[in-house]
C-alpha cells in the first residue's frame, strides 16, 4: 500500500470533500497520537495500537518489532509540544520498566517540536550504560524524515490513501471473455459463432481491509458476566461518501485474494479492456480506522442476564470501550468490477461481476434471464431466438412452424390454422406455409390441431361404441 499525499492534489481533494485542511501544529494531542499510530504501522511495526486514553502512565502507543527473530515491545510517548524536557524521558523510562511484556522492551518519545539538551543527554546515558530499557528520541525533523520513507507529508497531519495494488481483474490462464462464453453455453439453440466479442469495462473500486481485535471483560459485584475476545477483518467500501461494509461474498473475495494482488498498471490493463476507470479513495486511513472501531463496538455489544447475590436476575448491556478495540492493520486494495456487454441481434446482454483472477462474485447476469419477463437465474432453461436475438424462458419460446426451430413470442408472426395458433419468423414464412397448407388434403390439415383431431377421433369412437351397445351388438 502506498500512502501518499502531495501538495495541490491533496488540497484539491480535501476541498472537494468539504473537509478542513489541518496543519500538524494545529492538531490536538489525541489527533497527533492517531497520526503517529498510523505512521508506525506503515513503517512496518506490528500490533500497533493506542493505550487507553485515561491514566496511560506515559504510554500513548504500544507496538512490537521483530529483530533477529526476537520479538520486542515498544512503548511510545507522543508529545505535541514545542519542547520536551528530561522529566518526560524519565517518566517514559519508568513506564517501559513497568510495562507488562514478556521480552526485551524499549521506549520512543515522539514530538512535533524539539528535545532539550538534558533530555538528549539522559537518553544517551541510558544507551551508554546498556540500560535494559533504552529510550529513542524522535523530534519534528526526524518525524518528517520518517514520513518521507512512506511518502507522507506530515505538515498537514493526514494520511490519504493512494493505492497501487489491485486484485487481478481477470484470469491470466484464460481469455477475458471466458465468463461470458461459459454463461452463453447454458443457452439452448445458441451457437458460439453467433456470439460477438463483448464490450469490456473495468472499474477499479477502492477497498480497505481493517484487521482488528476486540478484547473486553465485563464485571459486576458477582464477578465476570461476559467476555469478548474476537479478531475480525472488515472489508470496507472506500469510495467517497460514508464507508460501508462490503456484502459477505464480496468481502470474502477481497479477503481471500488479498495475498495475490498485482500492481495497478493502467497501460497493460488498457490493452485488455475497452474502457477503464480508477476511482479515488474517499477518506483518510485514520477515518477508516475510526469507522471500523465504532462498527466493531456496535457489533460486539450484547445484553446478558446474570443472577445477583440476592438471587435476583439482572440484565446488563455490555458495550466494549473504544480502548478495547485494537486495530492491527489498515490495508488498501482496488477491487475490479467488470462489466461485459454482448450484443445479439436486437438485444444487449450484460454480465457484471467483481473479479479476483479466476474467482468472481456476480452482481448482474443479463444472460440467464428472459427478455420478456422476470424469470432469471441459472437454474432455469433458456432458449435463444436467432430471429431477433432474444434469450427466452420456456414460457416465451415456441417452435416455428415452417422451419421447426425456436422463435420467441415477442417477434413471432402468428396465424390460426384449424383453430390452432402457429408461430412464424415473419410474414414471408407465414405466407409460404399458408400455400403449403392450402394444398394439403383435409386430414393433414386436421392434424395441424392435434388435440382437436384426437378429441374428434375419441368422440367418434365413443359414438360408435355407444351405437353398438344400443343395438345389442356389445
Quote the pLDDT of residue 352: 98
Q: Residue holding cell 486495530?
A: 327
d(CA 468, CA 136): 118
Mean pLDDT of 326-333: 87
pLDDT of residue 160 exceeding 70, the answer is no
pLDDT of residue 470 exceeding 60, the answer is yes
Position 284 in a domain: yes
Mean pLDDT of 160-165: 76
Quote the pLDDT of residue 13: 33
d(CA 409, CA 397): 6
Quote the pLDDT of residue 6: 30
- The answer to whether the CB of 344 falls within 8 A of the CB of 194 is yes
Burial status of residue 411 (CB atoms within 10 A of its CB: 0-12, 13-18, 19 or more): middle
* Domain termination residue (choose one: 103, 122, 150): 150
**Residue of 24 and 19 predicted with greater confidence:** 24
d(CA 126, CA 211): 36
d(CA 8, CA 12): 6
Q: How many domains does the chain have?
A: 3
pLDDT of residue 225 exceeding 90, the answer is yes
* 292/355 same-domain check: yes
* 355/381 same-domain check: no
* Domain termination residue (choose one: 306, 339, 360): 360
CATH of the domain at 390: 3.30.40
* 108/249 same-domain check: no
CATH of the domain at 58: 3.40.1350.10
Position 47 in a domain: yes
Q: What are phi and psi of 48, to 5 degrees?
A: -80, 125
* 298/199 same-domain check: yes
Position 463 in a domain: no
Residues in the chain: 474
* 71/185 same-domain check: no
Burial status of residue 391 (CB atoms within 10 A of its CB: 0-12, 13-18, 19 or more): buried
Radius of gyration, CA atoms only, the chain: 36
Quote the pLDDT of residue 436: 87
Please give the model's pTM, rounded to 2 decimal places: 0.69
**Residue of 55 and 228 predicted with greater confidence:** 228
* 132/179 same-domain check: no
Q: Nine-digit cell at 307?
A: 443472577
Position 40 in a domain: yes
Position 456 in a domain: no
Quote the pLDDT of residue 146: 80
Position 50 in a domain: yes
* 333/415 same-domain check: no
Quote the pLDDT of residue 471: 65
Q: How many CB atoms lie within 10 A of CB 76?
A: 26
Longest dimension (CA), the chain: 134
* Domain termination residue (choose one: 150, 183, 200): 150
Write the pLDDT tens digit of every residue in 350-405.
Answer: 999 999 999 999 999 999 999 999 999 988 999 999 999 999 999 999 999 999 99
Secondary structure (3-state) at 381: coil
Question: Which residues partner with 415 through β-bridges?
Answer: 422
Lowest mean pLDDT among 331-340, 439-448, 451-460: 451-460
Position 31 in a domain: yes
Give the pLDDT band of residue 143 (cuts 50, 70, 90).
Answer: confident
Q: What are phi and psi of 121, to 5 degrees?
A: -65, -40
Quote the pLDDT of residue 112: 81
pLDDT of residue 302 exceeding 60, the answer is yes
What residues contact residue 307 under an 8 Å CB cut-off, 6+ apart?
Answer: 222, 313, 314
Quote the pLDDT of residue 17: 34
* 343/396 same-domain check: no
* 310/212 same-domain check: yes
Write the pLDDT tens digit of every residue in 38-55.
Answer: 888 888 899 998 887 554
**Dihedral sign, Cα of residue 262, residue 265, residue 266, residue 272:** negative
Average pLDDT over the chain, rounded to whole?
85
Q: How many CB atoms lie within 10 A of CB 19?
A: 13
Q: Nine-digit cell at 411?
A: 417477434
* 143/29 same-domain check: yes
- Range list of H helices, 17-116: 29-42, 86-98
What residues contact residue 435 under an 8 Å CB cut-off, 6+ apart?
Answer: none
Quote the pLDDT of residue 43: 86
d(CA 286, CA 269): 31
**Dihedral sign, Cα of residue 90, residue 92, residue 93, residue 98:** positive
- The answer to whether the CB of 156 falls within 8 A of the CB of 114 is no
Lowest mean pLDDT among 138-152, 321-335, 386-400, 421-435: 138-152
d(CA 433, CA 232): 69
Position 251 in a domain: yes
Q: How many CB atoms lie within 10 A of CB 235?
A: 23
Cα atoms found within 13 Å of the Cα of residue 334, Cβ hemisphere only:
26
* Best CA proximity match to 159, nearest among 341, 4, 347: 4
* 207/328 same-domain check: yes
C-alpha angle 234-236-242 in degrees, rounded to nearest 5? 130
- Residue 409 is part of which domain span? 365-433
pLDDT of residue 7 exceeding 50, the answer is no
**Dihedral sign, Cα of residue 230, residue 233, residue 237, residue 241:** positive
Q: E strands within 221-271?
A: 223-237, 244-245, 262-263
Mean pLDDT of 98-113: 92
Q: What are phi and psi of 440, to 5 degrees?
A: -80, 145
Give the pLDDT band of residue 18 (cuts 50, 70, 90).
Answer: very low
pLDDT of residue 188 exceeding 50, the answer is yes
* 54/135 same-domain check: yes
Quote the pLDDT of residue 65: 94
Quote the pLDDT of residue 124: 95
Q: Residue holding cell 383431431?
A: 453
Q: Nine-digit cell at 72?
A: 520486542
Write the pLDDT tens digit of every residue in 397-416.
Answer: 999 999 999 999 999 999 99
pLDDT of residue 253 exceeding 60, the answer is yes
Give the pLDDT band of residue 25 (cuts 50, 70, 90).
Answer: low
Q: For the chain, give me the number of helices (H) and strands (E)?
A: 12, 24
Amino acid at each position: 500500500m502506498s500512502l501518499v499525499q502531495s501538495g495541490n492534489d491533496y488540497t484539491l481533494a480535501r476541498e472537494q470533500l468539504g473537509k478542513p485542511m489541518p496543519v500538524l501544529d494545529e492538531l490536538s494531542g489525541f489527533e497527533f497520537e492517531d497520526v503517529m499510530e498510523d505512521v508506525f504501522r506503515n513503517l512496518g511495526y506490528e500490533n500497533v495500537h493506542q493505550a487507553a486514553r485515561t491514566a496511560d502512565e506515559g504510554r500513548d502507543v504500544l507496538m512490537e518489532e521483530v529483530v533477529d527473530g526476537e520479538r520486542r515491545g515498544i512503548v511510545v510517548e507522543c508529545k505535541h509540544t514545542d519542547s520536551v524536557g528530561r522529566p518526560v524521558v524519565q517518566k517514559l523510562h519508568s513506564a517501559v520498566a513497568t510495562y507488562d511484556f514478556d521480552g526485551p522492551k524499549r521506549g520512543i518519545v515522539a514530538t512535533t517540536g524539539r528535545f532539550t539538551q538534558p533530555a538528549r543527554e539522559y537518553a544517551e546515558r541510558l544507551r551508554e550504560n546498556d540500560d535494559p530499557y533504552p529510550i529513542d528520541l524522535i523530534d519534528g525533523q526526524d518525524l518528517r524524515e520518517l514520513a518521507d520513507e512512506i511518502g507522507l507529508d506530515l505538515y498537514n497531519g493526514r494520511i490519504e490513501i493512494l493505492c497501487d495494488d489491485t486484485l487481478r481483474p481477470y484470469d491470466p490462464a484464460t481469455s477475458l471473455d471466458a465468463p461470458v462464453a461459459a454463461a452463453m453455453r447454458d443457452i439452448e439453440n445458441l451457437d458460439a459463432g453467433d456470439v460477438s466479442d463483448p464490450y469490456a469495462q473495468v472499474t477499479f473500486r477502492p477497498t480497505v481491509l481493517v484487521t482488528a481485535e476486540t478484547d473486553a471483560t465485563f464485571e459486576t459485584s458477582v464477578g465476570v458476566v461476559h467476555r469478548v475476545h474476537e479478531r475480525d477483518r472488515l472489508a470496507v467500501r472506500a469510495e467517497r461518501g460514508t464507508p460501508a461494509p462490503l456484502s459477505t461474498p464480496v468481502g470474502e473475495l477481497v479477503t481471500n485474494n488479498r495475498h495475490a494482488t498485482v500492481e495497478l498498471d493502467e497501460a497493460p490493463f488498457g490493452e485488455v479492456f475497452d474502457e477503464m476507470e480508477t476511482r479515488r479513495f474517499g477518506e483518510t486511513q485514520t477515518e477508516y480506522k475510526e469507522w471500523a472501531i465504532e462498527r466493531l463496538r456496535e457489533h460486539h455489544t450484547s445484553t446478558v442476564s446474570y443472577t445477583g447475590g440476592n438471587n435476583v436476575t439482572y440484565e446488563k448491556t455490555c458495550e466494549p470501550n473504544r480502548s478495547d478495540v485494537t486495530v492491527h492493520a489498515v490495508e488498501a486494495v482496488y477491487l475490479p468490477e467488470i462489466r461485459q456487454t454482448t450484443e445479439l441481434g436486437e438485444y444487449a446482454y450484460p454480465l457484471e461481476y467483481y473479479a479476483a483472477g479466476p474467482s468472481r462474485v456476480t452482481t448482474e447476469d443479463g444472460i440467464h434471464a428472459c427478455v420478456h419477463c422476470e424469470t432469471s437465474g441459472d437454474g432455469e432453461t433458456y432458449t435463444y431466438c436467432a430471429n431477433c436475438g432474444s434469450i427466452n424462458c420456456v414460457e416465451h419460446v415456441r417452435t416455428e412452424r415452417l422451419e421447426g426451430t425456436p422463435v420467441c413470442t415477442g417477434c413471432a408472426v402468428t396465424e390460426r390454422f384449424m383453430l390452432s395458433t402457429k408461430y412464424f419468423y415473419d410474414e414471408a414464412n407465414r405466407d409460404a406455409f399458408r400455400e403449403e397448407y392450402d394444398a394439403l388434403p383435409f386430414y393433414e390439415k386436421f392434424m395441424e390441431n392435434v388435440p382437436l383431431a384426437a378429441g374428434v377421433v375419441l368422440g367418434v369412437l365413443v359414438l360408435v361404441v355407444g351405437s353398438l351397445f344400443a343395438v345389442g351388438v356389445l
